Amino acid sequence: MSVFTWIILGLLVGSLGTYLLFSDRGRNPDHGALIGGIAGAVGSLVLLIPLWIYVYVQGKQPVYELPKDRPPLSGKHLTRMALYAFLILMMLVYLLPVYTVVVTSLKTPKEAGKLAKVWDLPTEINWKSYETALDELGPQLKNSFILTISATIISAVMGSMNGYVLAKWKFPGANIIFPLMLFGMFIPYQSILIPLFQFVQDIDLGGTIYGLIIAHVVYGLPITTLIFRNYYAEVPTEMLEAGAIDGAGFFGIYRWIVFPLSLPGFVVVIIWQFTQIWNEFLFAVTLTDQSSQPITVALALLAGGEAVNWNLPMAGAVLAALPTLVVYIVLGRYFIRGLLAGSVKG
């Protein structure tokens, strides 16, 4: 079986599990959770293992290469000690918020409310915060997954096509169209918000997840096009010409030469789009209503309320952060590559 069959199989099984997890919770929670969880786990494994191996094999070359002949720097013992002390101190500072979030999320509401004891460990571990948070944010978590996965795949496929055309096919006006497309990723989205809002209302998708998907696909196009264009620009044109001599046309060259080469490009783009769309906020807060909003919005509203039990938003923050964090830790190398090759959407 090829990698693609694996991926499709894994996606099917995995989504079945997710579906069961959410559809059956109401009637028979334990039953639904068990079946859904097992199916989801199997599906994810089927999907992830080949992808993981592939990504591991392909991505061996590190982003940051340390020259081998670099002399040991400033060999003085004291300087080295100070260096490590500084690094460890900075690491603690960066991890401080993580500590508080995890600790607070595991406290009981009463204990979390004791402001002066924020830094103490919980006296008893209270997993209930996560249960409650999952109950309250579960539907939104599902929305986030639907939104992110569909918008990522569509914008990646379209971006790949655009990149292929822009990098390898000459057509009149390409030099003008490309920067004009690129500008679309820098505009403050506030400046198109009302027309977009109205447009989504006009096509009767106001307050649904689909309007949000459309917005993310369209405004994701510039960045995916940019990454793929730069990626394909490094594919030697001679290779494509050889394909053309063998009789392949526009689609044939893409199918048999460009696409097989572009899987690492797809990994970079998919990771990038996944994190960006998952984390996006402005569109999400304007285009959806309570039943269709993604988790970032639900979280901000949960934390923004007046009387808050702080263990709940903290558990919610963990839930909202976990998917992107896992992607980052597992595939960090590609994340960084996307960062360096592409750009940051704000």
Partner 1 sequence: MQVSANRAGNPGRKLLRFTRRINPDRVYAILMILPSVILLAIFVYGFIGQTLWWSLTDWAGLEKNAEKNYIKLDNYKTLFSDITGMRFRQELVNTFFFTLFFVGGCLILGFILAVVLDQNVKGEGLFRTVFLFPMALSFAVTGTIWRWLLNPGGGINALPKMLGADAWNYRWINNRSPYTFNWHEVPLTTTLLIIAVLLFFIFRQIWRRKYLATIYLGVPMALLFLWMWSDWVSWDDTQAMHGTFNWQDVPRYVVAVIVIGFVLYMVSLLWHGKRRAALILGIPTAVVLLWYAAGGTDNFPNVEFPEAYGFNIALVGVIIAAVWQMSGYTMAMYLAGIRGVPEELREAARVDGCSEWQVYMRIVLPMLRPITLSAAIVLGHISLKIFDLIFAMAGIDHWPVSVPGVQVYYTMFRSNKFAVGSAIAIVLLIMVASVVIPYLITSLRAEHEL
Minimum distance between the CB of residue 62 and partner 1, rounded to whole angstroms?
Answer: 9
Minimum distance between the CB of residue 183 and partner 1, rounded to whole angstroms?
Answer: 7
Minimum distance between the CB of residue 203 and partner 1, rounded to whole angstroms?
Answer: 13
Minimum distance between the CB of residue 282 and partner 1, rounded to whole angstroms?
Answer: 5
Minimum distance between the CB of residue 332 and partner 1, rounded to whole angstroms?
Answer: 6
The three-point CA angle 174-176-179 to 5° equals 105
- Of 29 and 305, the one with the shorter C-beta distance to partner 1 is 305
Minimum distance between the CB of residue 253 and partner 1, rounded to whole angstroms?
Answer: 8
- Of 209 and 317, the one with the shorter C-beta distance to partner 1 is 317
Query: What is the spatial distance between Cα 160 and Cα 226, in angstroms, rounded to a whole number?
Result: 9
Torsion of CA 55, 60, 66, 71, to 10 degrees: 150
Query: What is the spatial distance between Cα 224 and Cα 153, in angstroms, rounded to a whole number?
Result: 11
- Of 13 and 312, the one with the shorter C-beta distance to partner 1 is 312
Query: What is the spatial distance between Cα 251 and Cα 116, in angstroms, rounded to a whole number?
Result: 65
Q: Two tokens at 298?
A: 């639900």
Query: What is the spatial distance between Cα 48 and Cα 55, in angstroms, rounded to a whole number?
Result: 10
- Of 266 and 274, the one with the shorter C-beta distance to partner 1 is 274
Minimum distance between the CB of residue 237 and partner 1, rounded to whole angstroms?
Answer: 5
Minimum distance between the CB of residue 24 and partner 1, rounded to whole angstroms?
Answer: 29
Minimum distance between the CB of residue 2 and partner 1, rounded to whole angstroms?
Answer: 25
- Of 120 and 135, the one with the shorter C-beta distance to partner 1 is 120
- Of 49 and 187, the one with the shorter C-beta distance to partner 1 is 187
Interhelix angle 128-168/263-279, rounded to 10 degrees, is 130
Query: What is the spatial distance between Cα 137 and Cα 295, in angstroms, rounded to a whole number?
Result: 7
- Of 18 and 155, the one with the shorter C-beta distance to partner 1 is 155
The three-point CA angle 137-118-321 to 5° equals 30
- Of 32 and 264, the one with the shorter C-beta distance to partner 1 is 264
- Of 152 and 162, the one with the shorter C-beta distance to partner 1 is 162
